[in-house]
Amino acid sequence: QKEVEQNSGPLSVPEGAIASLNCTYSDRGSQSFFWYRQYSGKSPELIMFIYSNGDKEDGRFTAQLNKASQYVSLLIRDSQPSDSATYLCAATTGGFKTIFGAGTRLFVKA
Partner 1 sequence: EAGVTQSPTHLIKTRGQQATLRCSPISGHTSVYWYQQALGLGLQFLLWYDEGEERNRGNFPPRFSGRQFPNYSSELNVNALELEDSALYLCASSFAYEQYFGPGTRLTVT
Q: Is 53 in the site for partner 1 (CB under 8 A)?
A: no
Q: Confirm if 87 and 74 have CB atoms less than 8 A apart.
A: yes
**Total count of residues recorded for the chain:** 110
Q: How many residues in the shown chain lie near partner 1 by CB under 8 A? A: 22
Q: With binding defined as CB under 8 A, does residue 49 bind partner 1? A: yes
Binder of partner 1 out of 15, 46, 57, 80 (CB under 8 A): 46
Segment (H or E) for 21: strand 19-25
**Per rule CB under 8 A, is residue 103 in the interface with partner 1?**
yes
Per CB under 8 A, does 18 bind partner 1?
A: no
Dihedral of CA 28/31/37/42: which sign?
A: negative
Residue 39 to residue 105: CA distance in whole angstroms: 10
| Per CB under 8 A, 99 contacts partner 1 | yes
Interaction with partner 1 in 71-90: which residues (CB under 8 A)?
88, 90
Nearest CB to partner 1, comparing residues 19 and 48: 48
Return all residues near 100 (Cβ < 8 A) that are at least 6 apart: 4, 36, 88, 89, 90
Chain residues binding partner 1 by CB under 8 A are 31-32, 34, 36, 42-46, 49, 88, 90, 92, 95-103
